[in-house]
Amino acid sequence: MNRGYSVSIVVFTIILAVVYLVYTGSYGLVEITIALLVGVGVSLVLAPDLILNPSKMSPRRFITAIYYLVKYFTIIEAKAHWSVLKLILMPSAKYNPAIVRIPYSVTSDYSILLISNSITNTPGTVVIDVDEKRKYLYVHWIDATSVEDQEARKSVSEEFENYAYKIFE
């Protein structure tokens, strides 16, 4: 068992212990001990499924991930909500719904998940299928400005993909 792997297990243990403590809602010494034990046990059984490449674990990626999460749930979400809100409230709004094919170039499973969940979670766009062999996402877009692959990628997923590169690739 190499060092990167052990570090990953420790990180998972801490995350799971925090989940346990937050769910339990009490933070005594006994509770923290139980939380850590539970965290270690569960990590040893289930974390091997989640650690795909331990050597990629680095604080910079963590900080980028947190930065992305904050930015995503505030600025990006607000913009997307606003554009859909306009479509809903303006009686004269013209819809142009379409299913577009968006290519992606990332390779890690986590990157694909980050991109597709980012797309789905913003209002207006929903990922309906992934073609892992040919590397395409099929996205339903409420107001498609372009049905051409690269153009669609630019307005739907380019920003997410850039962050996916920084965090997971």
Local structure of residue 157 (DSSP, 8 states): T
109 lines the binding site for other proteins (CB under 8 A): yes
Residue tagged 């986590």 (tokens): 110
Instruction: Tell me if 168 contacts other proteins by CB under 8 A.
Output: no
Q: Which stretch binds other proteins (CB under 8 A): 2-10, 99-107, 126-134, 157-165?
A: 126-134
Angle between helices 29-46 and 3-24 (to 10 degrees): 130
Q: What does the alpha-carbon distance between residue 149 and residue 117 come to, in Å, rounded to a whole number? A: 19
**Cβ(84)–Cβ(142) below 8 Å:** yes
For residue 117, state whether it binds other proteins (rule: CB under 8 A).
yes
Residue 68 found at the interface with other proteins (CB under 8 A): no
Cα separation, 164 vs 169, in Å, equals: 7
Query: Distance between CA atoms of 98 and 81, rounded to whole angstroms?
Result: 19
Is 132 a binding residue for other proteins by CB under 8 A? The answer is yes
Shortest spacing between CB 11 and other proteins, in angstroms = 12
Amino acid identity at 67: Y
**Is 88 an interacting residue with respect to other proteins (CB under 8 A)?**
no
Determine, following the binding rule CB under 8 A, whether residue 122 of this chain makes contact with other proteins: no
Q: Is 129 in the site for other proteins (CB under 8 A)?
A: yes
Size of the site for other proteins (CB under 8 A): 30
Helix orientation angle between 158-168 and 149-156, rounded to the nearest 10 degrees: 70
Residue from 7, 11, 14, 38 touching other proteins (CB under 8 A): that is 38
DSSP conformational letter for 47? G
Q: Which is nearer to other proteins, 45 or 89 (CB)?
A: 45
- Give me the residues that bind other proteins (CB under 8 A), please: 12, 16, 19-20, 23-24, 28-30, 33-34, 38-39, 42-43, 45-47, 49-50, 109-110, 112-113, 116-117, 127, 129-130, 132
